Chain A
Amino acid sequence: MRSSSTEAGTATPKSHRKPYVQQQPASWWLKNRFYRFYMLREATSVPIYLYALVLMWGIYALSRGEAAFADWLAVMQTPAMMAFHLLVLAASLLHAYTWFDLTPKILVIRLGAFRVPDLWVKLAHYGGFVVTSAAVLLLAVLFLNGGSL
């Protein structure tokens, strides 16, 4: 406690404190596995962002007619693009895996006194993932086969 008295002989003594302030280096995330995995998780957003741009390009091509769209499709067939798609697939799957791990922590569902276990929420998400993927795949195959909307 600081003394605020002004009586003789009771003045505040000189402090010899010299705290050493530790600065966070820019390489902090290389320090351990946990941080490195966090950065990898965040980095998944880069290829996915680029993929969104590729999809935009596809829509643009779609709006310009069949010839333009055929060109876009040809580019999708190049080895570079297929490799990029594998990267996007890996990134989005890692995103989904980490996302489904985190969502139960935020999405707490209580029905009266019963709290839905984290595992159920996670499994529901994985279930939804399977159902949605199957549905979209089915729709895609229908389109490719000339099925009606």
Chain B
Amino acid sequence: MTKPLDSTVARKPYPYPRSHEPIAWSLFGAGGMVVAFIIPVLALITGLLMPGWPVETLYPNLLAFSQSWIGKLALLAVISLTLYHCAHRIYHGLHDLHVGGNPVLMLLLFYGGATLLSAITAAWLLVI
């Protein structure tokens, strides 16, 4: 097939395969909500409130919270979704900056990394 005269850029041929981006985007969206609603106040807490507070009162209460199932789930959700949101943004940001790299490796580094870190966090939360 000869290239049409009226275009210098080859149009992608029919058909267009379905992208799997929705998986990443769903996590990105959920994470984005978490980062917007939870991270600012959390940064205030861990950066201003917690430091300087006597650890004797702080530790037992935090431990009790993270020993409860609701506490474990909350902590895992916050950390995991934040990781996925940021990994997605950084992955696409590097693409925007023309920073290349083996596509599979990049996917493993960012989404695989977020998954691994989430699993590790879950493991730690389980033993608390």
Chain A residues near B19: list those with CB within 8 A.
none
Chain B residue with Cβ nearest A137: B41
Q: Which residue of B lies closest to A12 (CB)?
A: B5
Query: A residues engaging B (CB < 8 A)?
Result: 2, 15, 17, 19, 21, 24, 26, 29, 39, 42-43, 45-46, 48-49, 51-56, 58-60, 62-63, 66, 69-70, 73, 76-77, 81-82, 84-86, 88-89, 92-93, 95-96, 99-100, 125, 128-129, 132-133, 136-137, 140-141, 143-147, 149
Our pick among A56, A125, A141 for the contact of B120 (Cβ within 8 Å) is A56
Q: Which of B42, B47, B68 contacts A82 (CB 8 A)?
A: B47
Residue of chain B at shortest CB distance from A125: B36
The 6 A-B pairs at the shortest CB distance, nearest first, are namely: A85-B47, A49-B86, A45-B89, A26-B98, A77-B51, A96-B36
Contact yes or no, A59 B75, CB < 8 A: yes
How far is B56's CA from A87's CA once the two chains are assembled, in angstroms?
A: 29
Given contacts A26-B98, A144-B49, whether A2 and B5 have CB atoms under 8 Å apart is: yes
Interface size on B, residues (CB 8 A): 58
CA distance A26 to B93 in the complex (A): 12
Q: Which of A55, A56, A92 contacts B40 (CB 8 A)?
A: A92
Q: Could you tell me if B90 and A46 are in contact, using CB atoms closer than 8 angstroms?
A: yes
- Not counting A43-B93, A62-B62, a sample of 20 additional A-B residue pairs whose C-beta atoms are within 8 angstroms of each other reads A45-B86, A48-B39, A49-B83, A49-B87, A52-B83, A56-B124, A62-B59, A62-B66, A63-B128, A73-B55, A82-B48, A92-B43, A96-B40, A99-B36, A133-B37, A133-B40, A136-B38, A137-B41, A144-B53, A146-B61
A63 and B40 within 8 A (CB):
no
Task: Jot down 26 A-B pairs with beta carbons below 8 A, ordered by A.
Answer: A2-B5, A42-B92, A48-B85, A53-B117, A56-B120, A59-B128, A69-B59, A70-B55, A76-B50, A88-B47, A89-B40, A89-B43, A89-B44, A95-B32, A95-B39, A96-B35, A99-B33, A132-B38, A136-B38, A140-B49, A143-B58, A143-B61, A143-B62, A144-B49, A145-B57, A146-B57
- Residue of B55, B66, B82, B98 touching A52 (CB-CB under 8 A): B82
Q: How many A-B residue pairs have CB under 8 A?
A: 167
Q: With A26-B98, A45-B89, A59-B124 in contact, is A149–B68 under 8 Å at CB?
A: yes
Q: Are A58 and B39 in contact (CB under 8 A)?
A: no
Partner of A92, one of B39, B46, B58, B78: B39
Q: Which residues of B contact A145 (CB under 8 A)?
A: 57
Query: Is B52 close to A, CB under 8 A?
Result: yes
Highest count of chain A CB atoms <10 Å: which of B39, B64, B68: B39
